[in-house]
Chains A and B, each alone.
Chain A
């Protein structure tokens, strides 16, 4: 079991805060996606490669999430931080990967709920400023946007702390894992990829021929794997 260095904790919280802002409020450049977040978290913990594996699988899970306006969805920004940090720090590798995915999904769910709370808080601020908005008082929309961003930064920091808090728990559980690494890796892969497979339905919606292309590509992919490793 390896503990997180204090410098890594600071870097992870800063990273989680920045990525949390990107998810909705500032930019939406999608650096908040788990593929990126987990890899950067691995960088912060000094082990990029295992963190990237967790990022790949968590991205496979996140594929189904459409961040559409008023819908309520998991927030994958702190999830990537949690998964990347766990995969980088905990050992053995395969139990760490499975725990990274589980912790990532749990943190994504919690963070999604925190977004709902933030949006209600924004609504209360806007209601309080309604008279000024209706009168066109200069600076009112700017003030609301700035305060909304500050509120989201606080929310994101809280979720980043939650993400970091999952790391000691996972590093404690991983050495007590009694299943063999191949079974563990296989089941973790099934858990992640079944979500990708399920999300193809919405991806292919309205795209004629997509299902046939998917099936043909799947066969080509299987042949490629067999040729490379068989």
Chain B
């Protein structure tokens, strides 16, 4: 089951999201049901787990553990279906806030900061990949273990203080990393011309603030593409 949680998004679709992937991840546990693989209990459980499911991919390990536990405890099917549906929201929102909005940018900024401080490409890449995946793999392992151990009571694991306060703490760390990385990356890129680096920051930070106030109407990448397209035109037509 552990290895299969890494491909839980293998059949991602807009209709049932990761439902079939979740069934694929849980399937090894279902083989232990009375009647074995292909038996009535196995088939009913596999069908149940193949329906719509959506949550953060790393936290899906927790769902896999808890749902496998309930299936092997032979909990009533209606209860498993209700529980399965109730897991989607919390496992999605906790994962999105903790991983996508906090942990990923913080680790990426750490890699950028390493490069800005003079590290080579390998150092910057390793700083990012190792720090990120320490959290990533630990989260999957913890989720699977907690889900299996707690079964239907898995919601209590989501109330852990580090999950509640983690995004804010990581957000503050990311703020420090971003503040340091922006000038140091600029300084290294412009070969130490710190006056030009200052000018870049004076332009980039307020422009970024303005774009952030537009509420997603103009994505940052589109603004960057616009600036670079204009630059290319000027450079080629000048």
A-side residues, CB < 8 A to B, are: 24-31, 33, 35-36, 39, 42, 48-49, 51-53, 55-57, 59-70, 74, 95, 98-99, 101-102, 105-106, 108-109, 119-120, 122-123, 125-127, 133-138, 140-142, 144-149, 152, 173, 176-179, 182, 184-211, 213-222, 224-226, 228-230
B182 in contact with A203 (CB, 8 Å): no
Chain B residue, CB-CB nearest to A189: B200
CA distance A43 to B228 in the complex (A): 25
CB neighbours of A213 from chain B (8 A): 172, 175-176, 179
- B201–A193 touching, CB < 8 Å: yes
Verify if B199 is at the interface (C-beta below 8 Å from A).
yes
A135 touches B192 (CB 8 A): no
> Which residue of B10, B104, B185 contacts A26 across the interface (Cβ within 8 Å)?
B10
| Top-8 shortest CB links A-B | A217-B179, A197-B208, A207-B171, A136-B43, A229-B192, A52-B121, A195-B220, A225-B187
Q: CB-CB < 8 A to A140: which residues of B?
A: 20, 46, 50
Residues of B within 8 A of A (CB): 6-7, 9-17, 20-21, 23-24, 27, 37-38, 42-50, 54, 57-58, 92, 96-97, 100-102, 104-109, 111-112, 115, 120-122, 124-125, 128-129, 132-133, 136, 167-172, 174-187, 189-190, 192-194, 196-201, 203-205, 207-209, 211-212, 219-221, 223-225, 227-229, 231-232, 234-236, 238
> How many Å lie between the Cα of A172 and that of B189 in the bound state?
24
Contact A98 B231 (CB under 8 A): yes
**B200 in contact with A59 (CB, 8 Å):** no
Write out the residue numbers on chain B whose beta carbons fall within 8 Å of the beta carbon of A215. 179
From A184, A193, A225, B204 is in contact (CB under 8 Å) with A193
CB-defined contacts of B111 to chain A, threshold 8 Å: 35, 56, 59
Given contacts A66-B100, A122-B13, A218-B205, contact A136 B42 (CB under 8 A): yes
- Contacts A136-B46, A189-B204 given; indicate if A222 touches B198 (C-beta within 8 A): yes
* A66 contact from B6, B38, B101, B178, Cβ within 8 A: B101
Q: Enumerate chain B residues within 8 angstroms of A197, measured Cβ to Cβ.
A: 182, 204-205, 207-209, 212
Q: Cβ of B232: which chain A residues have Cβ within 8 Å of it?
A: 98-99, 102, 173
Is A188 a contact of B228 with CB atoms below 8 Å?
A: yes
Which residue from chain B places its CB closest to the CB of A222 in the assembled complex?
A: B183
Q: Tell me whether A179 and B228 are in contact (CB under 8 A).
A: no
Q: Are A123 and B179 in contact (CB under 8 A)?
A: no
Contact of A177 among B17, B92, B199, B236 (CB under 8 A): B236
Contact of A119 (CB < 8 Å), options: B13, B112, B205:
B13
Are the C-beta atoms of A186 and B212 separated by less than 8 Å? no
Determine if B228 and A191 form an interchain contact, defined as CB atoms under 8 angstroms apart: yes
B224→A203 contact, CB < 8 A? no
**Contact residues in B for A211 (Cβ distance below 8 Å):** 175
Partner of A60, one of B100, B175, B185, B238: B185
Q: Are B46 and A52 closer than 8 Å at their CB atoms?
A: no
Interface centre among B101, B121, B238 (most CB of A within 10 A): B121
Q: Please determine whether B211 and A53 come into contact, CB atoms closer than 8 angstroms.
A: no
In the complex, what residues of A have CB within 8 A of residue B121's CB? Answer: 39, 42, 48-49, 51-52, 55
Residues of A within 8 A of B133 (CB): 29-30
For residue B104, which residues in chain A have a CB less than 8 angstroms away from its CB? 30
A178 touches B20 (CB 8 A): no
- B15 lies within 8 A of A123 (CB): yes
List, sorted by A's number, 13 A–B pairs whose CB atoms are closer than 8 Å. A26-B10, A29-B136, A35-B112, A69-B92, A70-B14, A119-B12, A141-B20, A149-B10, A182-B196, A190-B203, A190-B204, A203-B178, A218-B182
